[in-house]
Amino acid sequence: MKYYSNFVPAYCIIARVADFTDQYQVHFYRNEAEALLGVTPTEFIQMSPASQQFLLNEKRKFRSLAMEIEATYNGSENRLSYTCKKIYQGD
């Protein structure tokens, strides 16, 4: 595997998001994924594999968030894809 000295890590996450109506697979890119996980990509890379798995699988389960999700229709595949455009944090 080749590594580059100027490599800048970035997120691309697909997560299952559910509410009372249905569940969807939503794509989270860069800033939205960082807001979802609560750590930068650089911090994530420096974590141990066990910590990464805990963060991805346990810490973010059943979290209440408000999101702006864009649905895009793909006519050739006759399906919708969902992308998170903004996460609204609140406690």
Going along the chain from its start, the domains and CATH numbers come out as: 12-88 (2.40.50.140)
pLDDT of the residue at 82: 92
What is the spatial order of strands in the sheet that 66-74 belongs to? 12-18, 23-29, 79-88, 66-74
Q: Is the pLDDT of residue 78 over 80?
A: yes
Q: How confident is the model at residue 1 (pLDDT cuts 50, 70, 90)?
A: low
Distance CA 83, CA 68 (A): 9
What digits encode the pLDDT tens for the residues 47-75?
A: 999 988 888 887 666 777 788 999 999 88
